[in-house]
Copies of this chain bind each other. A is one copy, B any other.
Amino acid sequence: MDQLNLSKHISSSFNEEIDIVRNHVMAMGGLIEQQLNNALMAIATADTELAQKVIDTDLKVNDWELQIDKECTSIIVKRQPAASDLRLIMAIMKTIADLERIGDETRRIARVALESFNSEQQDLLVNLDNLGRHVGQMLHDVLDAFARMDVETALLVHKEDKKVDREYEAITRQLMTYMIEDPRSIPKIMNVIWSARSLERIGDRCKNLAEYIIFFVKGKVVRHSSAEQLEHEARS
């Protein structure tokens, strides 16, 4: 009887600890969502102060990664989790690594807002804003899927990445055409291209996050799988 109570106690402590970690991941995710929104807003409104704020706040993102990583390691040592408990911790550790890299890309995007653009160039930034909103929605949805460990939403996010890739390619082509027409604008437009690239990479990382959710819920590694394989594995 004592034995049973003890094991129940240990197990409930594990759940409590993992709940704290999951809440921290959500807080980190929320901060990064805000960072992305602020970076896009800074570009759209040419707000250099907001851009600088995004760049400075990236340090907080890094701190979150280090803290959550530590918490996960400590749970492994103390609780020696197996099977799905360990899988959850692994999924969380991979998730925060990707979230931190999304933070890096967001900082890179914010740097573009420190540049000044003429009105014609400003028009080009509208496309960046559209791509940004699209990627922002992916990030929002995948964090939502993480909170509820919802495979169906994760699958939708995973599929969305193809659309983001196509949108990114269209923008790059348009920006290259603009550079050909006005070669003096090249250095400035290159910065816009880097931002588009950063947004595309954030999309890739949201796809990774979706894969970790499927890995946790289904116990199957779906990295490097084709879209069809993935859907099959996630639904089986």
Q: Which residues of A contact B (CB under 8 A)?
A: 59, 62-63, 65-66, 69-70, 73, 76-77, 80, 82-83, 86-87, 90, 93-94, 97, 172, 176, 179-181, 183-184, 186-187, 190, 193, 221, 223-224
Contacts and interface: CB of A to CB of B under 8 A. Distances in A.
Nearest to A90: B73
Contacts of A66: 221, 223-224
A180 B176 contact: no
A125 B90 CA distance: 41
A interface, by DSSP: helix, strand, loop or mixed?
helix
26 contacts: A59-B224, A62-B223, A62-B224, A63-B224, A65-B223, A66-B221, A66-B223, A70-B221, A73-B86, A73-B87, A73-B90, A77-B82, A77-B83, A77-B86, A80-B80, A93-B93, A94-B97, A97-B97, A176-B186, A176-B187, A179-B179, A179-B183, A180-B183, A180-B184, A180-B186, A183-B183
Nearest to A187: B176
Given A62-B223, A179-B186, 8 more contacts: A63-B224, A66-B224, A69-B221, A77-B86, A80-B80, A179-B179, A180-B184, A180-B186
